[in-house]
Amino acid sequence: MASSLGWRACAPFPMNHCGVFLKAVRSNGLSLFPWGHYPWRGTGSFLDPEMKAFLEENTEVSSSGSLTPEIQLRLLTPRCKFWWQKADLWPYSEPYWAIYWPGGQALSRYLLDNPDVVRGKSVLDLGSGCGATAIAAKMSGASRILANDIDPIAGMAITLNCELNQLDPFPILTKNILDLEQDKWDLVVLGDMFYDEDLADSLHQWLKNCFWTHRTRVLIGDPGRPQFSGHSIQHQLHKVVEYSLPEPTRKENNGLTTSTVWDFQP
């Protein structure tokens, strides 16, 4: 069998066919912008034609195998050539945005099933990745949305995924929001972000400040990775709902069978 794309060994938790674990790449500060865009992109942002063509050629539109079949996403699947090729053949930063991670699936399912949580409210999707949770918030009636991911290519993928779901693109920030002055949000959602101890500590402090300064509600999606289940934040969480993961998601994520939405209450 051909070896799978090496970046998946850097994933926030084990995945099928992975080799030796490498250090997860989540750099601080401003990302590089290969097509010359600025870190803030408003609604209806211009999509670079070459990058758009590359993403469309090397991802597959999928709405199956996840907790949210009503959301279509461009993802890397076993039918995509880069799923199997060596990591250094992928010409850009590691495409974490191209996997629909279990924590994000749980958050998105919860928002779709409980639209009152976001209807008419402002929502920040922190570490947005493919943008599914922000899309779920939009579908459920959120009045203002910001998707944040430090990878500018994730920003392009999010825009494409909005179009797939017949939604007008919402603003996207491709800068480390933890380094910026906090804005006021009714709700902050983040999935699969507690995969590194140092990042977990930074997120914990940032979320506490957000809660105490603006009384922001915080929902966290996580499938039970050790950096989250063993972190002190556990003492400030209330379980909202736990979902059984679909079989395809289980197969792609060794040892994971459920994903949970938590309400952060410091």
* Mean pLDDT confidence for 43-61: 81
* Residue environment code for 26-54, b if the CB has 16+ CB neighbours within 10 A, otherwise e: beeeebeeeeebeeebeeebebeeebbee
Q: Strand order of the sheet with strand 144-148?
A: 40-41, 172-173, 144-148, 122-126, 187-191, 217-222, 258-264, 237-244
Lowest mean pLDDT among 7-21, 73-87, 200-214: 7-21
pLDDT of 9 strictly over 80: no
CA–CA distance, 28 with 248 (Å, rounded to integer): 32
CB atoms within 10 A of CB 181: 5
Strand partners, 62: 73
Write the pLDDT tens digit of every residue in 115-130. 999 999 999 999 999 9
* Mean pLDDT confidence for 215-232: 95
% of the chain at pLDDT higher than 90: 68
- CATH 3.20.20.60 applies to domain 47-262: no
* Mean pLDDT confidence for 4-22: 39
Backbone angles phi, psi at 243, to 5 degrees: -115, 145
pLDDT of 214 strictly over 80: yes
Domain ranges (residues) in the chain: 47-262
Write the pLDDT tens digit of every residue in 150-193. 999 999 999 999 999 999 999 999 999 999 888 999 999 999 99
Contacts of 38 (CB under 8 A, 6+ apart): none
